[in-house]
Chains A and B, each alone.
Chain A
Amino acid sequence: MSKRTAFRLLLAALILVTGALGCARDEPQIAMGVRTANDHAPFYLADKLGYYQDEGLDVAVHLVPSNTEIIEAVQRGDLQAGAVPITTAIAAISAGVQIKIVAMTGRAGDGLLVRSDSGIETLADLRGRRVATIRGSILDVPLRVALQDAGLDPERDVTMIYFTKLGDMIQALETGQVDAASNTEPFMTQVERDGWGEILCYYSASWPDHPCCVVFVSESLRSERPDDVVALMRGHLRAVAYAQDHPHETAEAIVEYLEAFDVPLVEASLDEHKMRIDAEITPQEVECMAGLMHEFGLIERLPRADELLDTSLLRRAQP
Chain B
Amino acid sequence: MSGWRHRIVGLPALLLALVVWEVLPRSGLLNPVFMPPCSQVAWRLWYLLRSGELLRHCGASLLRVTLGFGLAAALAIPLGVLLGLHRRLYLRLAPLVGVLRPISPPAWIPLAILWFGIGNRPAVFIIFVGSAASMLLGIVAGARGMDRRWIEASLTLGASRRQAVLWVVLPALLPSVMTQLRIGLGLSWMAVIAAEMVAVNQGLGYMMVQARNLFQTDTVLAGMVVVGALGWALDRLLLRLERRFLGWRAELEPHDLLAA
Contacts and interface: CB of A to CB of B under 8 A. Distances in A.
A161 B201 contact: yes
A175 interface: yes
B214 A136 contact: yes
Contacts of B216: 95, 300
B-side interface mostly: loop
Contacts of A63: none
A177 B214 contact: no
A212 interface: no
Interface stretch (A39-47, A100-108, A164-172): A164-172
A-side interface mostly: mixed
Nearest to A171: B113
A137 B209 CA distance: 13
B31 interface: yes
Interface string A220-235: 0000000000000000
Contact of B206 (A71, A136, A162, A168): A162
A304 B209 CA distance: 26
A161 B200 CA distance: 7
B113 A299 contact: no
Interface in B156-194: none
Query: Is the interface on chain A under 10, 10 to 19, 20 to 34, or 35 or more residues?
Result: 20 to 34
B46 interface: no
Interface string B80-119: 0000000000000000000000000000011001100110
Interface string A120-135: 0000000000101011
Most A Cβ at <10 Å: residue of B110, B118, B200, B215 = B215
B110 A97 contact: no
Interface string A133-145: 0111100000000
Contacts of B198: 168
A135 B118 contact: no
A92 B215 contact: yes
Contacts of B117: 172, 175, 177
30 contacts: A67-B213, A68-B212, A68-B213, A75-B31, A75-B34, A91-B213, A92-B215, A95-B215, A95-B216, A96-B32, A130-B118, A132-B199, A134-B213, A136-B210, A137-B213, A161-B199, A162-B210, A164-B209, A164-B213, A167-B110, A168-B110, A168-B113, A168-B198, A171-B110, A171-B114, A172-B199, A175-B114, A178-B199, A298-B214, A299-B214
Given A97-B215, A177-B118, 7 more contacts: A91-B215, A162-B206, A163-B199, A172-B118, A172-B199, A175-B113, A177-B199
Interface of A: 67-68, 71-72, 75, 88, 91-92, 94-97, 130, 132, 134-137, 160-164, 167-168, 171-172, 175, 177-178, 298-300
